[in-house]
Structure 1
Amino acid sequence: MASSTHMMGSLALGIICLIIVNAIAVAGEQRRLLAESVYDITKYGAKGDGKTDDAMAFVQAFKAGCEGKTPAKIVVPPGTFMMGEVILRGPCKAPPPLIIDIQGTILANPDPSSYSNRMWILVEYVDNVKISGGGTLNGQGANAWKYAGETNHMPVSFTFQSSSNGDISDLKFVDAMGFHSKLIDSYNIKVTKMTITAPDESPNTDGIHLSNATNVEITDSFIGTGDDCISIGTGSKNILVKNIKCGPGHGLAVGSLGKRPDELSVGNITFSSCTLTGTTNGARIKTYHKSPVLTATTIIFEDLTLNDVKNPVLIDQHYFSKTEPEQSSVKISDVHFRRIKGTTISKIPVLLNCSKKVPCSDIELADIDLKPVGDAKSVSSVCESVVGLKTSGVLNPPPPQC
């Protein structure tokens, strides 16, 4: 009996302790919420008439929150705000996380010459930041696209640079002048529930581009633009891209690599469970001729559904290289194309066109089923400069002879 009484007493004490712990946690959360300071850009002079340049109000609200002593939320409220160049620069003194809550629509100044850094909204040197809110960043790029070119890059709508532990979600990007977003020199970033749209004829309007980015997850988003939906550039490692709906555009790309002499190797990149519709390319790796010595290794494209895609599986080491006879020095290895199915408008949906200088090695084709539509009555595959091609499962088209 005494033992039973002791057990009941211990159980009661445990329940009381649990209640106290939960109460402390709730109180702590309430204190955190109460301590949070809100910095509404309209309190810093933003007009929200869609015509007045409200960039400085955004910058001032951010600066006040960044330098505060309590957790900060910078708010762009419902409405339409026109802004030119916006630079949100840390490091911040406010206790993390810093929240940037974009609820309204931000219109870019449509004059591309007004952006001295070829960036519209820049977040730089800011760690532990959450950027969300369901709002829209409209780059108003239609009038700028005619000026875009290989040597004349248009402003990037959103750049996340030299920062860490970023959480970017639930935003809409529309009609960027140049790239819609870039993640540069940053690590530990999650990007999710994004909607990025521009006409398929808009030039160089990549959805999300990575450069020297590490530990990045991009998930559950819709991207349809005039260029790559997602492009993984120099120095990027440990990247997961999952559950992306892509189209129109140029597909999912590693590269281009090797254009500049100071580029770095890339590796450990996975594209998984994505659907591509009406894109120029599906799963693509692209490198330039006359490149620095680099490696692109451990790259996986798996569980992709393709609808009327022109080049479903493509390694192109002769990208944009007609004027440079010297072959690429980017060594591509340990690449896996697995469980890729759907339809293609190409007669050669699997093309592995590697460098003669440094042939691709350890390339896998597994369970690929691509049915021709339109003018493509039958399909085949081509392989050039590949060592150690591995094949398994159902393969349509049949595997190439390397």
Structure 2
Amino acid sequence: MGNCSHMMGSLALGLSCLIIMYGMAVGADQRRLLGETAYDITKYGAKGDGKTDDAMAFRAGCESKTPAKIVVPPGTFMMGEVILSGKCTAPPPLIVDIQGTIMANPDPSSYSNKMWILVEHVDNIKIGGGGTLNAQGAGVWKFAGESNHLPVSFTFQSSSNGDISNLKFVDAMGFHSKLIDSVNIKVSKMTITAPDESPNTDGIHLSNATNVEIIDSVIGTGDDCISIGTGSKNILVKNLKCGPGHGLAVGSLGKRPDEISVGNITFSSCTLTGTTNGARIKSYHKSPVLSATNIVFEDLTMNNVKNPIIIDQHYFSKTQPEQSSVKISDVHFRRIKGTTTSEIPVLLNCSKKEPCSNIELADIDLKPTGEAKSVASACQSAVGIKTSGVLNPPAPKC
């Protein structure tokens, strides 16, 4: 603006300046208007009566030639299998604004790929809106098992630059959400809710995911609040409230022969309440050779947690006597405090075949509660344990 004031001494230059400024303003208005183009699913076939399958309307706006926002307005919509797949023609970012409640078809056999809502091969997408995804899973949890994986509520797969925020997930049949084969993902302000007894209902699971940030969220479920699986790296989980559930987990690792290493994973400033585990790394027996390295658990608060700090390399080991080949190293447990219902709240139960190495315990203060009268640490097959600050319980001797 200062440059234009100097130019006003010349009428021609002043007019030029005004034209330029006007052009910029018009361009900004056009971009703003284009960015607000909304595709309300009720205008594309969605009935919103809670009975009609409105899944087909969910893709409205993907083929737009201008920036698009897919809107699920207030109300209740029943949707079976929802697939948002392929490169949308709408200029990025594609916005999905879920304001209402989406109820799943409660019949798990209606999901051909064991997924309820799938976003696949869609880059630069923003999903939010404050709405609810209710999978109505309670009626099918009794059928869950190792050989019968129930549908995942939300899967973000083979995509990049995703921003997922401000959504509520309720009662998934299987996992609540999965981030798979994807890069550059931000997840924030999520609320995930399922009862403690719901089986295999992990809150957020990662597999071959890179550069992921999960922040400012609340997860209570029947399995891991966060589970980080094969091939995942550069992961930050921060300001998370977890409970009930099985805690914050790296793993399980090594179940399948094609798994690859994980690393650069940080859990920071999280609170766990009434969970089975706190900070956990777990791997199977008879695993492929891979590594889990540079893992940090820091500034965690434990409230009545059974196993606040645990490395378990004998996960599901009864049928496989061969020790785990997952090499766990450079693991840091720092500034972890609170209460525990276990008399052994620090357990490093590592593989004899590939002992854990370079494990740091710093400023650990865990007090017994409930039936636990005292606390101690235990260790097997760990080398290079480093300690500092206050340690309650004292560091284990391997």
- TM-score tier by shorter-chain length is over 0.9
C-alpha separation in 2, matches of 1:264 and 1:279: 28
Deviation, 1:22, is 8.4
C-alpha separation in 1, matches of 2:58 and 2:388: 55
- In structure 1, the partner of 2:190 is 194
- In structure 2, the partner of 1:347 is 343
Answer yes or no: is the 8 Å Cα contact 1:66–1:90 preserved in 2.
no
- 2:76 is aligned with 1:77: no
Answer yes or no: is the 8 Å Cα contact 1:89–1:126 preserved in 2.
yes
- In structure 2, the partner of 1:31 is 30
In the alignment, residue 30 of structure 2 is paired with which amino acid? R
- In structure 1, the partner of 2:48 is 48
Change (3 A) 1:79 1:339: same
- In structure 2, the partner of 1:5 is none
- 2:331 is aligned with 1:335: yes
C-alpha separation in 2, matches of 1:14 and 1:83: 60
Deviation, 1:21, is 8.9
Deviation, 1:24, is 6.5
- In structure 2, the partner of 1:401 is 397
Query: How many residues get paired?
Result: 390
In the alignment, residue 111 of structure 1 is paired with which amino acid? D
C-alpha separation in 2, matches of 1:338 and 1:367: 6
1:4-55 per-residue CA deviation (whole Å, 9 max, x = no partner) reads xxxxx87954999999998766544421122243211111111101111111
1:245-275 per-residue CA deviation (whole Å, 9 max, x = no partner) reads 0000000000000000000100000000000
- In structure 2, the partner of 1:231 is 227
In the alignment, residue 178 of structure 2 is paired with which amino acid? K
C-alpha separation in 2, matches of 1:77 and 1:23: 36
Superposition CA RMSD, Å: 1.9
C-alpha separation in 2, matches of 1:54 and 1:314: 45
Change (3 A) 1:99 1:378: same
User: Aligned to 1:135, which of 113, 131, 134?
Assistant: 131
Change (3 A) 1:400 1:41: same
User: Aligned to 1:268, which of 261, 264, 271?
Assistant: 264
Q: TM-score, normalised by structure 2?
A: 0.95
Structure 2: tracts of 5 or more residues without a match: 9-13
Structure 1: tracts of 5 or more residues without a match: 1-8
Change (3 A) 1:321 1:40: same
Answer yes or no: is the 8 Å Cα contact 2:4–2:17 preserved in 1.
no
Kindly report which structure 2 residues correspond to 1:383-394, keeping only aligned pairs within 5 A, or say none. Answer: 383-394=379-390
- In structure 2, the partner of 1:3 is none
- 2:152 is aligned with 1:183: no
- In structure 2, the partner of 1:311 is 307
Deviation, 1:381, is 0.1
- In structure 2, the partner of 1:57 is 57
SS of match in other structure, 1:317: strand
C-alpha separation in 2, matches of 1:221 and 1:168: 11
In the alignment, residue 132 of structure 1 is paired with which amino acid? G
Deviation, 1:320, is 1.0
C-alpha separation in 2, matches of 1:378 and 1:187: 44
- In structure 1, the partner of 2:216 is 220
Kindly report which structure 2 residues correspond to 1:152-191, keeping only aligned pairs within 5 A, or say none. Answer: 152-191=148-187
C-alpha separation in 2, matches of 1:304 and 1:41: 42
C-alpha separation in 2, matches of 1:138 and 1:268: 33
In the alignment, residue 291 of structure 2 is paired with which amino acid? T
Percent identity, aligned pairs only, is 82
Change (3 A) 1:14 1:267: farther
Change (3 A) 1:13 1:281: farther
C-alpha separation in 2, matches of 1:150 and 1:19: 69
In the alignment, residue 257 of structure 1 is paired with which amino acid? L
C-alpha separation in 2, matches of 1:241 and 1:19: 49
C-alpha separation in 2, matches of 1:312 and 1:169: 28
Deviation, 1:78, is 0.6
